[in-house]
């Protein structure tokens, strides 16, 4: 499979999932690398998903619960 075919397959599958279940069904999460954080959000925004999580969400989540 070529890169173009692979990307076309990914795009068509994502479009079908969004059509069937809505953009909220997609969740994107990344690890501790901060360099690609803005690019990661740029990928999720056109998909329409509000579910974009970075390392800060996971690292500070336990702190937030502890402070409650």
DSSP state for residue 29 in the 8-state scheme: E
Q: Sketch the domain layout of the chain as residue ranges.
A: 3-67
Residues 67 and 60 sit within 8 Å (Cβ to Cβ): no
What confidence score (pLDDT) does residue 36 get? 65
**Model pLDDT for residues 5-63, shown as the tens digit of each residue:** 999 999 999 999 999 999 999 988 876 666 666 777 788 888 899 888 877 666 666 66
Strand partners, 52: 28
How far is Cα 54 from Cα 46, in angstroms, rounded to an integer? Answer: 17
What is the phi/psi pair of residue 44, to 5°? -75, -35
């Amino acid at each position: 499979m070529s890169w173009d075919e692979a990307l076309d397959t990914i795009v068509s599958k994502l479009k079908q999932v969004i059509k069937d279940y809505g953009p909220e069904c997609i969740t994107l999460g990344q690890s501790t690398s901060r360099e690609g954080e803005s690019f990661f959000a740029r990928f999720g925004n056109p998909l329409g998903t509000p579910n974009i999580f970075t390392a800060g969400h996971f690292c500070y989540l336990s702190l937030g619960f502890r402070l409650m």
